[in-house]
């Protein structure tokens, strides 16, 4: 019994220290780099990033931390990322309006996720403030959308760049058609699904 307890607590200790990275099985270089984000145990949004991007507070907290680092890396690459005003968190009425003008095609979106009834968006739309969706040149916009996809992949996240209805600014934790949209709408998910 005693040895069992010691063994169990040793395993827990080692597990806690090593934080066995699930993403060690990652198959792409971008995803493999995500291992470091686990080792560095990032739990908080750096305060300077939150001050410049207050809408991060509308996102589910674990998701927000990773998005903060996506933003920081895009900034260090010379981009000017900005959370679009219609994202992160959206009410049902906002979603209806956005769908009505053809900028979304779903009734429930990851932007509308809640935790304990509080806003906790599981998607965010990031634009470069200089160009948004239509400014600058196509090449400049493409450079931002590609960089966003790469930096999201570092966190294991996905953008809508290559969707049949492309939504290049949109970042979410899971690929399209993963079934997670229905799970989130049903409240049937946990923060562990974001790791
Ligand atoms: Zn979106």
pLDDT digit string (tens) for 94-130? 989 989 998 888 889 999 999 988 899 999 999 999 9
Whether 5 maps to a domain, the answer reads no
Report d(CA 79, CA 146) in Å as an integer.
12
Tell whether the model's pLDDT for residue 23 goes beyond 60: no
Reported as a pLDDT band with limits 50, 70 and 90, residue 151 is very high
Whether 36 maps to a domain, the answer reads no
Whether 183 maps to a domain, the answer reads yes
Whether 106 maps to a domain, the answer reads yes
How close is the Cα of 120 to the center of ligand 1, in Å?
14
How close is the Cα of 126 to the center of ligand 1, in Å?
8
Whether 25 maps to a domain, the answer reads no
Whether 22 maps to a domain, the answer reads no
% the chain with pLDDT above 70: 79
Whether 29 maps to a domain, the answer reads no
Q: What is the pLDDT of residues 164-188, one digit of tens each?
A: 989 999 999 999 989 999 999 998 8
Domain total of the chain: 1
Read off the pTM.
0.77
Domain ranges, residue 184: 42-194
How close is the Cα of 103 to the center of ligand 1, in Å?
9
Instruction: Say which CATH number the domain at 138 has.
Output: 3.30.1380.10
How close is the Cα of 67 to the center of ligand 1, in Å?
13
CA nearest 150: which of 77, 90, 65?
77
Q: How many angstroms from the chain centroid is the CA of residue 74?
A: 14
């Amino acid at each position: 019994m005693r040895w069992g307890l010691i063994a169990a607590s040793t395993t827990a200790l080692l597990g806690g220290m090593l934080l066995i990275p699930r993403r060690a099985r990652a198959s792409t270089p971008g995803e493999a780099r995500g291992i470091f984000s686990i080792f560095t145990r990032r739990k908080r949004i750096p305060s300077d990033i939150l001050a410049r991007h207050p809408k991060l507070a509308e996102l589910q907290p674990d998701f927000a931390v990773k998005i903060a680092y996506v933003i920081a890396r895009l900034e260090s690459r010379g981009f000017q990322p900005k959370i679009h005003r219609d994202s992160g968190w959206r009410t049902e009425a906002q979603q209806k309006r956005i769908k009505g003008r053809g900028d979304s095609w779903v009734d429930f979106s990851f932007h509308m996720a809640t935790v304990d009834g509080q806003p906790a968006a599981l998607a965010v739309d990031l634009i470069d403030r200089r160009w948004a969706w239509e400014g600058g040149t196509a090449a400049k916009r493409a450079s931002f959308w590609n960089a966003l996809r790469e930096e999201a992949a570092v966190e294991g996240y996905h953008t809508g760049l290559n969707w049949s209805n492309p939504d290049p600014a949109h970042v979410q934790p899971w690929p399209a058609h993963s079934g997670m949209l229905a799970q989130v709408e049903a409240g049937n998910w946990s923060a562990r699904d974001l790791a």
